[in-house]
């Protein structure tokens, strides 16, 4: 699974999970699905990003400072969404 595909899946899962949690809908199953989602993550875990992704399903959008994410030389990815070798 490519990085962007996983991110799209995670966004949709957490949007669904927030509603399902409010209703008590399939709680144990959702916990297992969340664990499975984390296991197939194609990139390293980042707690700050995790919090921001979870907040997307809430009514208030997170305030992300993109200037902190900017680097002098952004990474280059190949057609498989993998880091290209320098």
pLDDT tens readout for residues 34-63: 999 989 988 888 888 777 777 766 656 556
pLDDT number for residue 77: 77
Count up the domains in the chain and report the number.
Answer: 1
Is residue 16 included in any domain, yes or no? yes
- Can you tell me whether residue 84 is helix, strand or coil? coil
Assess contact for 40 and 34: CB atoms under 8 A.
no
What φ, ψ does residue 58 adopt, rounded to 5°? -90, 170
pLDDT number for residue 49: 74
Is residue 77 included in any domain, yes or no? no
List the domain range (segments joined by +) for residue 62: 3-68
Is residue 47 included in any domain, yes or no? yes
pTM: 0.52
Is residue 38 included in any domain, yes or no? yes
pLDDT number for residue 33: 94
Is residue 82 included in any domain, yes or no? no
Is residue 28 included in any domain, yes or no? yes
Q: Considering the chain, what percentage of its residues have pLDDT values greater than 70? A: 73
């Amino acid at each position: 699974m490519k990085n962007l595909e996983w991110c799209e899946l995670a966004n949709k899962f957490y949007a669904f999970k927030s509603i399902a949690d409010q209703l008590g809908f399939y709680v144990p199953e959702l916990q297992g699905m969340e664990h499975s989602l984390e296991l197939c993550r194609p990139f390293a875990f980042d707690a700050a990003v995790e919090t921001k992704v979870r907040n997307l399903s809430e009514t208030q959008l997170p305030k992300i400072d993109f200037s902190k994410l900017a680097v002098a030389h952004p990474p280059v990815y190949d057609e498989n969404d993998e880091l290209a070798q320098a």
